[in-house]
């Protein structure tokens, strides 16, 4: 046993897979500790707040100021305000006004210098409509306002007279330290369509999905193992019957059975555990086939015959004489079943047959909702890409561990 473990840990593939898996587990365990609370809680009012650090504007106003004179502040300000379409329009203006300038879209400094030098609202390039000229005028005003350093005034409504009373002036050189603001928080992956914290939901979804994988994998392995052992060892009519069923279900896709059963159960009864059991019930076929063929090659070995002659019970022969030989296979099959079950849940959820949304988050449900809200078409990558990546990494790490184990147990496959 010790030797075996040593061998397994020396396998680079197993180790890589194990480390990736460990990393996912750590995320699952530790993020909820840093950021406790209900993962399904709606925190943002709008949908799909992008990832980043959020600073309360209200609190920031009452925070102590520091003054910095930075050369590039004005430029940065403009850089973030000038939309790509505005930049294109600016270059179009140069062209239609017949000004030869050599600027690129992303070089804000050069673009601005050229604009300040050449733009003149009195020029009326031929073929430009009045509306367009007005647009340029507005754009120019915006730019001038952004570059100007007039202080902004924060005012409050006076309770007595209803007039605006100045509270504070904010200059373009005023800065606050985010550490001093009362309400600052970080959303590494933004929020989703329900306004939930995506990372927190993801950590919780990984937990549920792994649990679904574990339950489904155990159910499938247990059924497959039992049927395989019974069929392979007893043979005869029982074997024929079990193989008949197995052969039929190898051809009838389990995907279809899964859909039919999940649909029949109905939305109300479909919790994560139910879905897991249903997935397990439809995916034991492979294990059963493989276990059966291994048992057939084992059942006439000398040590098994000796056990039979000694009058040992069926159960004892199974546990003592057969199982040790197929244990490595069963463990590998279980690993693959877990990864397949996680995928099956995701696909079921995408079809709308996953667990109830309001109860628990799962990887599939997160994917389904972000697709329903067309997150992929609107560029809200944070709501779907981490989910795809997580599914891929879980499955990748499990497959890698499986390949590593395979190479340890089957020397012919070693490199």
Partner 1 sequence: MSGYRKYFTKKILWFAVTFIVAVLLNFILPRLMPGDPVAVIVSKNAQGMSESTAVIEMYKQYAEEFGVNDPMIVQFFTYFKNALRGDFGVSFSQYPRKVSNIISEAVWWTVGLQLPAIIFGWLIGNILGALAAYLKKGFDKVLMPVSLFLSSIPAFGMAVILLVLFAVKLEIAPTSGGYGFDMIPNFSWSFIRSIISHYQLPFWSIVIYIIGGQALGMRSMSIYELNADYVKYSRFLGIKDKKIVSYVFRNAMLPQITGLALSLGVMIGGALVAEIIFSYPGLGTTLLAAITMADYPLLSATTLIITMMVLITTFAIDFVYGVVDPRVKAAQIDS
Q: Out of 54, 263, 325, 409, which residue is the one contacting partner 1 (CB under 8 A)?
A: 263
β 184-187/152-157 pair status: unpaired
What are 230's two structure tokens? 């019974």
Q: Who contacts 410 (Cβ-Cβ below 8 Å, separation ≥6)?
A: none
What are 309's two structure tokens? 């002659």
> Any contact of residue 328 with partner 1 (CB under 8 A)?
no
Stretch of residues binding partner 1 (CB under 8 A), selected from 24-32, 55-63, 112-120, 257-265: 257-265
Nearer to partner 1, 244 or 314 (CB): 244
> Any contact of residue 24 with partner 1 (CB under 8 A)?
no
> Any contact of residue 399 with partner 1 (CB under 8 A)?
yes
Helix (H, G, I), strand (E, B) or coil at 197: strand
> Any contact of residue 84 with partner 1 (CB under 8 A)?
no
Q: Contact at 8 Å (CB) between 50 and 383?
A: no
> Any contact of residue 260 with partner 1 (CB under 8 A)?
yes
> Any contact of residue 243 with partner 1 (CB under 8 A)?
no
Helices (H), 235-310: 236-251, 254-265, 272-281, 285-298, 302-309
> Residue 409: exposed, middle, or buried by beta-carbon count in 10 A (0-12, 13-18, 19+)?
middle
Q: Contact at 8 Å (CB) between 258 and 282?
A: yes
Nearer to partner 1, 105 or 256 (CB): 256
Nearer to partner 1, 32 or 271 (CB): 271
Nearer to partner 1, 158 or 378 (CB): 378
Alpha-carbon span 312 to 157, nearest angstrom: 91
Q: Out of 25, 60, 234, 259, which residue is the one contacting partner 1 (CB under 8 A)?
A: 259
Q: Who contacts 76 (Cβ-Cβ below 8 Å, separation ≥6)?
A: none
> Any contact of residue 277 with partner 1 (CB under 8 A)?
no
Q: Single out the residue of 338, 193, 355, 176 nearest to residue 270, CA to CA.
A: 355
> Any contact of residue 256 with partner 1 (CB under 8 A)?
yes
> Any contact of residue 371 with partner 1 (CB under 8 A)?
yes
Using CB under 8 A as the criterion, which residues of the chain lie in contact with partner 1 when the complex forms? 247-248, 250-257, 259-261, 263-266, 339-340, 343, 346-347, 350-353, 367, 371, 376-377, 379, 381, 384-385, 388, 391-393, 395-396, 399-400, 403, 412-413, 415
């Amino acid at each position: 046993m010790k030797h075996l473990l040593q061998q397994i840990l020396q396998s680079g593939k197993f180790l890589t897979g194990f480390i990736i898996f460990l990393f996912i587990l750590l995320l699952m365990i530790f993020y909820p500790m840093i950021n406790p609370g209900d993962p399904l809680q709606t925190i943002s009012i709008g949908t799909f707040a992008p990832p980043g650090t959020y600073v309360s504007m209200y609190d920031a106003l009452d925070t102590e100021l520091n003054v910095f004179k930075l050369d590039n502040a004005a430029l940065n300000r403009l850089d973030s305000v000038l939309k790509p379409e505005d930049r294109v329009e600016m270059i179009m203006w140069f062209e239609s006004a017949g000004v030869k300038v050599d600027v690129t879209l992303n070089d804000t400094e050069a673009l601005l210098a050229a604009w300040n030098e050449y733009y003149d609202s009195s020029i009326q390039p031929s073929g430009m409509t009045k509306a367009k000229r007005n647009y340029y005028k507005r754009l120019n005003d915006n730019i001038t306002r952004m570059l100007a350093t007039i202080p902004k005034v924060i005012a409050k409504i006076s309770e007595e007279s209803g007039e605006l009373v100045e509270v504070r002036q904010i200059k373009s050189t005023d800065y606050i330290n985010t550490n001093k603001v009362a309400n600052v928080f970080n959303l590494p992956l933004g929020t989703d369509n329900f306004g939930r914290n995506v990372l927190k939901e993801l950590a919780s979804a990984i937990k549920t999905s792994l649990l679904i994988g574990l339950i489904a994998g155990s159910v499938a392995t247990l059924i497959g193992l039992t049927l395989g052992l019974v069929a392979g060892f007893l043979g005869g009519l029982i074997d024929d019957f079990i193989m008949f069923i197995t052969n039929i279900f190898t051809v009838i896709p389990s995907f279809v059975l899964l859909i039919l059963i999940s649909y029949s159960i109905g939305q109300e009864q479909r919790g994560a555990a139910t879905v897991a059991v249903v997935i397990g019930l439809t995916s034991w076929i492979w294990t059963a086939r493989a276990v059966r063929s291994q048992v057939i090659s084992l059942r006439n070995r000398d040590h098994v015959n000796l056990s039979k002659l000694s009058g040992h019970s069926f159960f004892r022969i199974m546990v003592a004489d057969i199982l040790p030989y197929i244990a490595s296979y069963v463990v590998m099959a279980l690993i693959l079943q877990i990864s397949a079950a996680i995928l099956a849940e995701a696909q079921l959820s995408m079809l709308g047959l996953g667990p109830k949304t309001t109860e628990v988050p799962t990887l599939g449900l997160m994917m389904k909702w972000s697709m329903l809200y067309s997150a992929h078409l609107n560029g809200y990558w944070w709501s779907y890409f981490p989910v795809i990546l997580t599914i891929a990494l879980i499955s990748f790490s499990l497959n890698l561990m499986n390949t590593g184990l395979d190479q340890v147990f089957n020397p012919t496959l070693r490199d």
